[in-house]
Structure 1
């Protein structure tokens, strides 16, 4: 990680004094910021996720980040690991250095407008100084990522044309897309748990849509596989537009634009301890990639695979995991359904009815001296994280991935 220049003590004191105000008004500031940004630069709507904007998730995530920066401005080195996580998303989306001055200009303007007279020249100057330092850190980290991505074997910059080689229905709501480069070039490898960005032009929409999907197969294949849940397209859930388009409108042979794999939610393959993979809903996609990799490269490592779904109709890769378990004795699996069907009960095809809980985890996971990975809807991850924390699992052994803007558990 690059070393971050330090702020003057006066600027540090000024910014820290704004933290209580930002805690109260942070979301109002970021909401106004995005309004101003897109009014002045509508072309940036080609990059930003429109659904996250409409649902307020992006505004909340940015407000939390600004508040965290104010709280920890005297030790920026401590919060820079988060820079790398966000930088992965930026590189995957195509964020460039020239975007940062634009963002800084409108963020300061939003602070000034929302806070009014409370935003003194001294406060604005301190935040301008801090933003410049933080932006330079992002630009530097992202430049390294762009360079590494483009120069790796089979790598490319920005977006590349891929053909949908196959569409495979995995459950009533999840379909897998097998993507192969249109030019036939070899694919760069990736770390299990990483994702790619898919850029689509939907007929009738002014701006392109970009969505990030976890890779759901092991590296080393001649294709990338993503497994997408079809979300219902509702006014209060605008995130369904892209998934509905992929499910209903695309067909084998169609071309989509793909960015190279990114993300820091990755399986530590040097760790020899038991590993526990816990997923909810479509959150199983990175877990399947990790499981496939473990089965292929380290079949002796003890793995507990736990998946929560509504029922078997919503349960993707069920048969595949069960088949893997028959080949690898070190793998055990458990299914948790909160709305099992009559057929599920008759066939006894699941292990627990209800939700994942601490007592159930303790009854099926052989040891707490393991590395835990989990992914799924935010309420699910909060419950799992709380259970693991209560169990005494150290923070460094609890690894999780958010779909969309990073939040807090």
Structure 2
């Protein structure tokens, strides 16, 4: 049995290329901009939030800002985009822009916000590099890079909104919590239904944005993968509360949901988005590789297979710190039992948990793991895990077009 083809998500369509004289200027100044990019983006966000404090309270992730993650992501994305534009040997960064565009759409970003970013970004460039360095020619070249990237994003976001049948930025719905399940791992699965206009159907691997009002009055938004199947008007997502560490603060939204959200509560929830290509899922072999909470889009894919394509060969590899921290472990095993062509391999860093049959000790390594050469490979986890496994797979000859990755962080540029 095979499933009917699913629609692929819209992708970014490049709006143009750099003119030769602009490309020359970017090539000459990219090292200087790159060397100062952290200072530029820090100054940019200082200016942006001073002028628009509501953006920090109600749109941007305050945790990422506190740790500098958002600053680094913006800096690296622009630098990566510019590098791709001036190097003819590199593919146009449409995939990078596509991932960013889907995330923007799930946040309700609109075209009128791009000039605001432009104003403060270029003021920051001049502030850091100096007016004597940012000559009119230099400014014009980088202005062209910015608007090429912005126009590509604006075009994609416009098409995403049109495809979803909503006005630009009108993606959030008031939703009521109708179910909550506390997983032994500490992960919380939350099910919501819209209070008025229903949510559209979704496809495996997509995610939603969830907005909550915190005790200080700020409305913070985070994105979570869907782990149920469509068709009943419900959305179920999984949240793993993030404790404070020496490297960063506790997760504001995840902690709020874990400690405060109950059945009957109201949340702001976006319609689903996501750019993982799933149009043919179930029609050929799959390899699903995840670590930690990166298991969530894989659960969504397994839920789909269990109903629509139970005979699909699927190889599941998951890595975690321990059996106790493994999110949704019971559901993963239940779904695998419904897939006769499936296999499951687990890796636990705490070697005492590796005593079970089929469980490996230590970190996941692809060496010695047989893979179907015709399989589509989906990979999700933290930055280090995704980069490491992705490189191992590419070294083994997995074709890049069959390798689909998802990061639970703002660092989309890492996969460009």
Same fold (TM over 0.5): yes
User: Structure 1 unaligned runs (5+)?
Assistant: none
For 1:388-409, what per-residue CA distance to the aligned partner results, in whole angstroms no more than 9, with x for missing partners?
Answer: 1222111112111011212415
TM-score by length of 1: 0.91
Q: Secondary structure at the match of 2:46?
A: helix
TM normalised by structure 2 equals: 0.89
* Mapped contact 2:107–2:169 kept (Cα < 8 A): no
> Is 2:152 the partner of 1:137?
yes
Give the deviation of 1:3 after TM superposition: 5.4
Offset of 1:195 from its aligned partner? Answer: 0.5
Counterpart among 152, 159, 164 of residue 172 in structure 2: 159
Residue by residue over 1:334-383, the C-alpha shift from the partner in whole angstroms, topping out at 9 and shown as x without a partner, is 22111155xx466x265111111122423xx4x23311111112121122
Alpha carbons 1:16, 1:73 under 8 Å: kept? no
Instruction: Please name the residue that 1:187 is paired with.
Output: 199
Match of 1:34 in 2: 45
Superposed CA deviations along residues 35-91 of structure 1, whole A, max 9, x for unmatched, are: 111111112211111111111111111111221233233469812332222111111
Partner of 1:111, secondary structure, is helix
- Corresponding residue of 1:127: 142
Q: Give 1:126 deviation, angstroms.
A: 2.2
Match of 1:323 among 310, 329, 334: 334
Q: Relative to total residues, which structure has the larger helix share, 1 or 2?
A: 1
Q: For the residues of structure 2 that align with 1:4 and 1:271, how far apart are their CA atoms?
A: 33
Structure 1 residue matching 2:379: 3-state secondary structure: strand
> Could you say if the C-alpha distance between residues 178 and 323 of structure 1 is closer, same or farther in structure 2, counting changes exceeding 3 Å?
same
Is 1:368 equivalent to 2:383 in the alignment?
no
Counterpart secondary structure, 1:333: strand
Which moves more between the two structures, 215-224 or 31-40? 215-224
Deviations 1:94-135 (A, max 9, x none): 111111111011111111111112222221122223323332
Counterpart pick for 2:296 among 285, 294, 309: 285
CA–CA distance in structure 2, aligned partners of residues 360 and 21 of structure 1: 44
Q: Deviations over 1:151-179 (max 9, x none)?
A: 59xx9922111111111012232110011
Deviations 1:290-336 (Å, cap 9, x if unpaired)?
A: 11111211111100111112222112332223233333211111221
Structure 2 CA distance, aligned partners of 1:131 and 1:179? 38
Query: Structure 1 residues 3, 235: CA separation in 2 closer, same or farther (over 3 Å shift)?
Result: closer
Which blocks of at least 5 consecutive residues in structure 2 are unaligned?
1-11
Aligned to 2:5: none
Please tell me whether residue 353 in structure 1 is matched to residue 365 in structure 2: no
Cα distance in structure 2, aligned partners of 1:84 and 1:198: 21
CA RMSD of aligned residues (A): 2.3
| Equivalent residues of 1:52, 1:239 under 8 A apart | no
Q: Distance in 2 between matches of 1:177 and 1:228?
A: 8
Higher relative contact order (CA 8 A, sep 6+): 2
Paired residue total: 399
